[in-house]
């Protein structure tokens, strides 16, 4: 029984170890960080609609290497900008892959279908140096 418990605990930890390895962005990789301010952030139905469009789009992209869709965290420090409603952070092997992502039909469809839901978008792109 003790061996079974140890094996179970070790097995349960494997996904966490694998996901930590997958999070590394190689030097030369490209990170695309997008922040969205919704027109009606208190509308549950519009938030759900936005999330559905964003998730459908990002899951259909052929070029995204890793992805994060989130909402603002409760961080109370002067340096933290918590004015946005949603963030999308995606990584790519390189800038060329990100350029292809920008021109994907699923990207254009997302903008067409969801842009009526946001009032502002800010993008921060960066190259990985480590």
* 35 is a domain residue: yes
Is the separation of the CB atoms in 33 and 86 below 8 Å?
no
Neighbours of 29 (CB within 10 A): 21
Q: What is the CATH number of the domain that holds 89?
A: 3.30.70.100
Backbone angles phi, psi at 31, to 5 degrees: -115, 130
Report the domain count for the chain.
Answer: 1
* 97 is a domain residue: yes
Q: HSE (CB half, 13 Å, CA atoms) of 129?
A: 2
> What would you measure as the largest C-alpha separation in the chain, in angstroms?
57
* 112 is a domain residue: yes
Is the separation of the CB atoms in 30 and 127 below 8 Å?
yes
* 18 is a domain residue: no
The one-digit pLDDT tens for each residue of the chain (130 residues) are 444 333 333 334 434 444 445 566 777 789 999 999 999 999 999 999 999 999 999 999 999 999 999 998 888 898 888 999 999 999 999 999 999 999 999 999 999 999 999 999 999 999 988 7
**pLDDT the model gives residue 11:** 38
* 85 is a domain residue: yes
* 15 is a domain residue: no
* 69 is a domain residue: yes
pTM higher than 0.85, yes or no? no
Q: What is the dihedral of CA 101, 106, 110, 112, to 10 degrees?
A: 110
Range of the domain at 53: 23-127
CA distances in angstroms from 99 to 53, 72, 107, 111, 128, listed in the order given: 21, 27, 11, 16, 16
């Amino acid at each position: 029984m003790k061996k079974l418990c140890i094996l179970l605990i070790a097995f349960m930890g494997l996904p966490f170890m694998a996901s930590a390895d997958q999070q590394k962005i190689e030097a030369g990789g490209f990170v695309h960080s997008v922040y969205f301010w919704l027109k009606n952030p208190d509308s549950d139905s519009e938030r759900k609609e936005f999330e559905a469009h964003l998730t459908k789009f990002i899951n259909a992209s052929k070029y995204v290497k890793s992805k994060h869709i989130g909402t603002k965290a409760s961080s109370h420090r002067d340096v933290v900008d918590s004015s946005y409603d949603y963030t999308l952070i995606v990584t790519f092997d390189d800038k060329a892959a990100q350029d292809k992502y920008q021109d994907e039909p699923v990207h254009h469809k997302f903008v067409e279908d969801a842009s009526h839901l946001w009032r502002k978008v800010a993008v921060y792109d960066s190259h990985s140096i480590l």
